[in-house]
Structure 1
Amino acid sequence: MIPASFDAAYLHNPAPIYPRSSRRRGDEGKVVLRVHVLGDGSADAVEVAESSGHSRLDDAAREAVRNWRFTPAHRGEVRVDSWLRVPIVFRLDD
């Protein structure tokens, strides 16, 4: 099986919006999302697998990735649903 992916340049997935209040407070962190990718490349479910420790950052990551497009997993020539982990890093110097 070829796994799903999210990092192909042609997918044009926008980075999450850094919440203003989180910037003001100096919140940073890494969120790891668990995403159920359907055979058509859309996200069916997006769950926080590892929190950044800041709910605003977790929510911003989840909201952005919910709208991303993915390269679906393949079993042979058939597209199949699968789960994928997506890391999102919020860093103030970005």
Structure 2
Amino acid sequence: MEDLNIHSKMFQFRVSLSVLAIIIAIVGFTQPVGSYTQTYARATLSLLLSTVMGTYAFERLQEKKWLPFSAYALVSVLNLLTFIKIIFPIIHF
């Protein structure tokens, strides 16, 4: 297993985004279906997950590991499309 540097800025950034995503997921699940709070919580959660996966994709691109880079980038783009679909529901993909 690779050495996990918990003092690096990128690790701290990912941990803080993950904690924020967990809080937003709890808020999203506790709100009634169809409320604006739940809609924006889902959109924010999708955007946060896309950001976290994008940082992993960027790191794998720098290491020239193409398969993990393409997988993380694909998941990041799909989360961005989900974010767009939640914010603009009239658009059909």
Q: Which protein is richer in strand relative to its size?
A: 1
Higher RCO (CA < 8 A, seq sep 6+) = 1
The TM-score normalised by the length of structure 1 is: 0.31
Q: Which protein is richer in helix relative to its size?
A: 2
The TM-score normalised by the length of structure 2 is: 0.31
